[in-house]
Structure 1
Amino acid sequence: MGIERDNMITIVGLGYVGLPTALAFHEAGYRVGGIDISEKVIEGIKNGKSPLIDVSTEIEIPTNDDRWYVTTNYEDIIPKSDVILITVPTPVDDEKKPDLTYVKLASRSVISNLPKGQRKIVVLESTVYPGVTREVLGGICQELGMEQGNDIILAYCPERVDPGQTDRGVSDVAQIIGCDDEKIGKEITEMFGTITLESATYVGKLEVAEASKMVENLQRDIDIALANELAIILPKLGIDVEQVLAAASTKWNFHRHTPGIGVGGHCIPVDPYYYISLAERVGKPSLLSLGARKMNESMPYHVSEEVISLLKEKYPTKEDKWKVLVLGYSYKPELGDTRETPVEDLTKSLSDEGVEVLVWDPLVDNSEMPTWIVPVDDPYNCGDIDGIILATAHKSVLSLDWERMKKDNRNDLLYDGRRVLSGEKMIAMGWQYSGVGVP
């Protein structure tokens, strides 16, 4: 019979992944419930307001709709839900070890409110290492007396939404599903197939799907680390890394990544540590992934060193504190998300070297910026500054009047931390242009 449109699908965690997923299932015709522990988030959603700061997409939230219900209370909605998707954060702790606190809390809250004997489906979407769904959710089931197969079915479907990408929404992402019960797994696959124009594939047991998601982001981190390492080494030979990458990209099987001040967000800086932890558990410590993490985490400090060097060269006799304007603070263009942003480490390193750091980011609330930063509301009116760093390539940053920026701020030192500007054009305007990977 499968999962029908009149079944209720409930999403736990209404953030950058959960909310778009909930809206996609609602648009596909299902009855949809949503749970978030934040009363502010739920109140906003009830009023049709998105809690997400993402200017890349327009989000329309239903109001006064009998197929849409959101709440902070698990007891209100879990007992009458047929399928529950858990999309909560999976960070690392201060020692870079996997922190499954949110998964454990959400899973217990879900499973403890499920009625017995109804074979409700619980799908974990949060990024984890292989074995978590079976060990953590399965362990909670055993503790609460919920028998898998009779009372509850566990499955895993990795979230693949890429916030900020206009061409990679929920409907543009292929889905994979792991479930020990092949029949139910294929029914879940059909359900996810209703919200994507791409493929939906049943891949077998839970651990296959879990490992797939971990490997996807692990590969990206390693690829980016190579680009960043090249951006450090090649300029010492007088070679611009972007020219090399452009040349290498003429080969059909070369996967190009652009170097920058570092990577951020809830996936790439975090997920490799789940693999690193897994490798340690099985007694085969990872060398490649740990090296990639060290490389990418070093980039904010490398950029800080380069900027300090440029300032010393340009102002060798200056006694006052240098003042630098950083354009962008979020980890990614068109988002106001500051999780794991490399700009935090960059600005802290500059501040520790005695630089007064000003930051302009129209998508980030000033209250989210750390104390060593001076937030500004107008990038053209910062007084006399000694240098500008492009840190996040928002459209609002790229569309700045660069002639006016140079004139109004009485400065011509520009460091492109994302290699998104034309060096030739900037130099023609009179800028002293540099950037990641520039010799």
Structure 2
Amino acid sequence: MWWRNGGLYWTRNKQSRKHKLNRNYLNKTNSLLNALQQKEKQIAVIGLGYVGLPLALALARQFRVVGFDNNAGRVAMLQQNEDPSRQLQADAFTGTDIFFTANPDDLKHAHFFIVAVPTPVDDYKVPNLKPLQRASETIGRVLKPGDYVVYESTVYPGCTEEDCLPILEHESGLTLGREFKLGYSPERINPGDKVRTLTDIRKVVSGSDGDATQTIAAVYSSIIQAGVYTAPSIKVAEAAKVIENVQRDLNISLMNELAIIFDKMGIDTQEVLNAASTKWNFLPFTPGLVGGHCIGIDPYYLLYKARQLGYEPQVINSGRRVNDGMPAFVATKLVQLLLQVGKNPAQTKVLVMGLAFKENIADIRNSKVADLVRELMKYAVNVHIVDPLASPNEVAHEYNMSLMEKPVGQYDAVIVAVSHDSYRAFDAAYFRSLMSESPILLDLKGMYTVQKSAGIEYWRL
């Protein structure tokens, strides 16, 4: 009878052969790691956005790295030590052994591949695996015996082995275990966070077998100061990543639902949370617009997989409905306030400050502020948008909206939607200078304290 372990086969009565094969694999593991450390072989990072670029640069301080992205314009900027996402300064490129390219042929000499491409959803909230599939095809065409492929993109449990692996094997003609290894190490980059950076966050790693896990852990351990945690399987690592953001999504949805209820009661939600947080085990979540390419997207991957298995999640679905409905709630609240001060929404001009999905970054992907703008436009409100970090060209391309350089006139209302640091110094007098009679200020992030004596109708989530 034949048995399998990590792609190796042996019979029950040939234990000596099993041990010999295991030793051979261990030697190969050590050989690859040594070759990477000696820069005889190189690592390839596929996808150079918010996740891939910091990872590639960190690895390039220890190893030879080729950074690949299919966006030639992005690569051209990186070759000039310029981060298109505007998260890293030029000195982040200093002292790195990295070659940036948009040519897939340059991947032929790599032996350890890391995939960090986006995993979005389509208009129907269904996972869009095309970037992941294209990356797998690209790697499969250059995959060689002894190579490793590690995925970092957030997916549903099973995606790496059920969706990506068949593409690798088909394109390469190689077999997992016999000729190459597979792994998954979920990204934990927090865009805009200058304290908890890549190397300061513990990394989860997993592999297709014990030797794969050992090698992958060793590679990441060389750059992650916080250490690594080895998950028992790739599926466990995938599930761990996706529930990190599902948990945050659900907690924020609870705060958003409470904000809706307390608004109907005439209670300030922030004051309620301040009082409740005096208890040691009260979790410090706050209401807000939930966008971006993580918290606002990842739950749909788990929902998709659960439905494939014949289960309709109740709690996760509910949280998503609440959070997706917040732009409409805020727009309706502003319209109500405009009517209360005797203004016709269709004859008003409103300034929205901040379009990025979170503070201190330029990333506008899946911005719920854009949804808020659309909701306001349904009431024929004239909306002006400003953001000190977002790219006007990207805003026009992504949302068909115009980003203004600065406020240009008297507004009936101002909505501060994103808590950029540059907004924190603003006070009631500044906002009053931007607005006409009977001004309204909506502070979605609870950044300010505005007294009634300031002459502004102030509301916050």
TM-score for the superposition, normalised by structure 1: 0.92
Match of 1:58 among 79, 89, 96: 89
User: How many Å apart are 1:86 and its aligned residue?
Assistant: 0.2
Residue aligning to 2:5: none
Residue 139 in 1 paired to residue 169 in 2? no
C-alpha distance in 2, partners of 1:62/1:269? 31
Instruction: Evaluate the alpha carbon distance shift between residue 350 and residue 311 of structure 1 in structure 2; reply closer, same or farther with a 3 A threshold.
Output: same
Match of 1:20 among 28, 35, 54: 54
Residue aligning to 1:130: 157
1:362-408 alpha-carbon deviations (Å, 9 max, x no partner): 111223335775533223xx222101101111112222354133125
User: How many Å apart are 1:66 and its aligned residue?
Assistant: 8.1
- 3-state SS, counterpart of residue 85 of structure 1: strand
Match of 1:111 among 104, 122, 140: 140
User: How many Å apart are 1:430 and its aligned residue?
Assistant: 3.2
* Equivalence map 1:18-417=2 (5 Å): 18-27=52-61, 29-54=62-87, 58=89, 60-62=91-93, 67-76=97-106, 78-115=107-144, 117=145, 119-144=146-171, 145-260=173-288, 262-316=289-343, 318=344, 321-369=347-395, 373=401, 375-379=403-407, 382-400=408-426, 402-411=428-437, 412-417=439-444
User: How many Å apart are 1:311 and its aligned residue?
Assistant: 0.6
- 3-state SS, counterpart of residue 149 of structure 2: strand
User: How many Å apart are 1:428 and its aligned residue?
Assistant: 4.5
User: How many Å apart are 1:150 and its aligned residue?
Assistant: 2.8
C-alpha distance in 2, partners of 1:59/1:341? 27
C-alpha distance in 2, partners of 1:237/1:409? 28
C-alpha distance in 2, partners of 1:269/1:38? 25
User: How many Å apart are 1:186 and its aligned residue?
Assistant: 1.8
- Structure with larger Rg: 2
C-alpha distance in 2, partners of 1:75/1:373? 38
Instruction: Evaluate the alpha carbon distance shift between residue 140 and residue 404 of structure 1 in structure 2; reply closer, same or farther with a 3 A threshold.
Output: closer
C-alpha distance in 2, partners of 1:206/1:374? 43
- Aligned-partner residue type, residue 43 of structure 1: A
C-alpha distance in 2, partners of 1:408/1:218? 39
The answer as to whether partners of 1:3 and 1:188 remain within 8 angstroms in 2 is no
Q: For structure 1, which runs of at least 5 residues remain unmatched after alignment?
A: none
Q: How many residues align?
A: 423
Residue aligning to 2:8: none
Instruction: Evaluate the alpha carbon distance shift between residue 277 and residue 320 of structure 1 in structure 2; reply closer, same or farther with a 3 A threshold.
Output: closer
Q: For structure 2, which runs of at least 5 residues remain unmatched after alignment?
A: 1-29
- 3-state SS, counterpart of residue 181 of structure 2: strand
Instruction: Evaluate the alpha carbon distance shift between residue 193 and residue 59 of structure 1 in structure 2; reply closer, same or farther with a 3 A threshold.
Output: farther
Instruction: Evaluate the alpha carbon distance shift between residue 429 and residue 270 of structure 1 in structure 2; reply closer, same or farther with a 3 A threshold.
Output: same
CA RMSD across the alignment: 1.9
TM-score for the superposition, normalised by structure 2: 0.87
User: How many Å apart are 1:190 and its aligned residue?
Assistant: 2.1
- Aligned-partner residue type, residue 134 of structure 2: L
C-alpha distance in 2, partners of 1:372/1:18? 27
User: How many Å apart are 1:183 and its aligned residue?
Assistant: 2.0
- 3-state SS, counterpart of residue 392 of structure 1: coil
1:297-330 alpha-carbon deviations (Å, 9 max, x no partner): 00000000000011111124x5961100111111
- Aligned-partner residue type, residue 403 of structure 1: A
1:185-208 alpha-carbon deviations (Å, 9 max, x no partner): 022112212222213011121101
- 3-state SS, counterpart of residue 257 of structure 2: helix
The answer as to whether partners of 2:125 and 2:300 remain within 8 angstroms in 1 is yes
- Aligned-partner residue type, residue 350 of structure 1: L
C-alpha distance in 2, partners of 1:198/1:60? 23
- 3-state SS, counterpart of residue 415 of structure 1: strand
1:223-271 alpha-carbon deviations (Å, 9 max, x no partner): 11000000000222232211222222222222221112x1111111111
Instruction: Evaluate the alpha carbon distance shift between residue 320 and residue 129 of structure 1 in structure 2; reply closer, same or farther with a 3 A threshold.
Output: closer
